[in-house]
Amino acid sequence: MMTPAAIAIGCSAGGVDALQVLLGGLAPGLRQAVLVCCHSRSETTEIFRRVLERVSALPIAEAVERDVAHPGVVHVAPSGYHLLVESDLHFALSADPRVNYARPSIDVLFNSAAEAWGDRLIGVVLTGANADGAAGLRRIRQFGGTAVVQSPADAEAAAMPQAALDVAGADYCVPLLDIAPLLNRLCLP
């Protein structure tokens, strides 16, 4: 496998806690662009970003439309918009209808990221209470990318990782605590 260029993470119910564990474990030297899509009811990502900033060695920033996905930065999808990645690795936003009751939708992010990065993408599905992300994770695998799913038994809400396993399968299905070390191993030279 080529060295991954990006990691796309999707989560919903229980996601903020899970992300703190995951991002807190990522190595400071990681050069991959990290994209996060977390369902939330809040209108801005400000508090969410502050919570993640406390634990993450990598800088956290809201993804800005037309901006490029920066290596070594965690880009958070803005509330109320779908986040997409263009083939030239710039971000695009969309105000199209909700997908799987969600906007941002994990499927929308994963589908476009799969096409943009192909086999250089790792998709991660964490805890959540619906099936968003499952179809997107399958697409990531179809394009040669790597699928990581949190063990449903270990997840605060099992539905989302279970749906991902059912629809897409996974290259790695591990407990939350093991995901950051796994990503570090896959990403660091």
Partner 1 sequence: MDAPELEGIEVDVFVQALQKRHGYDFSQYAPASLKRRVRQLASQFQCKTISHLTERMLHEPELLPRVLEGLTVPASDMFRDPAVFRTLRENILPLLASYPHINIWQAGCAHGQEVYSLAILLEEAGLYERTQIFATDLSDRALQHASEGIYPVKDAQQWSRNYQASGGGQSLADYCSAGYNLIKLNQRLRRNVTFAMHNLATDGVFCEAHLILCRNVLIYFSNSLQDRALSLFRDSLVRSGFLCLGLRENLELASTARDFAPFIEPMRIYRVASHVETLSA
Nearer to partner 1, 43 or 185 (CB): 43
Q: Is 184 helix (H, G, I), strand (E, B) or coil?
A: helix
Task: Determine the residue type at 23.
Answer: L
User: How far apart are the C-alpha atoms of 77 and 91, rounded to whole Å?
Assistant: 10
- Rounded least distance, CB 132 to partner 1, Å: 15
Contact of 69 with 6, CB cutoff 8 Å = yes
Tokens matching residue 91: 């971000």
List the catalytic residue out of 12, 105, 112, 151: 12
- Binding-site string for partner 1 from residue 160 to residue 189, where x marks contact by CB under 8 A and - marks none: ------------------------------
Gap between the Cα atoms of 79 and 59, Å rounded: 19
> Which one of the listed residues 56, 75, 132, 151 is annotated catalytic?
132
Binding mask 50-69 for partner 1 (x = CB under 8 A): --------------xxxx--
Our finding on whether 146 is near partner 1 (CB under 8 A) is no
**Backbone conformation region of residue 160, classed left if phi is above 0, alpha if psi is from -120 to 50, else beta:** alpha
Under the criterion CB under 8 A, does residue 89 sit at the interface with partner 1? no
Strands (E), 21-120: 33-38, 60-62, 74-76, 82-85, 91-94
Please tell me whether residue 42 binds partner 1 under the rule CB under 8 A.
no
Among 20, 94, 130, 184, binds partner 1 (CB under 8 A): 94
Interacting residue ranges for partner 1, rule: CB under 8 A:
43, 64-67, 78, 81, 84-87, 92-98, 103, 108, 111-112, 115, 118, 142-143
Q: Which residues are catalytic?
A: 12, 39, 132
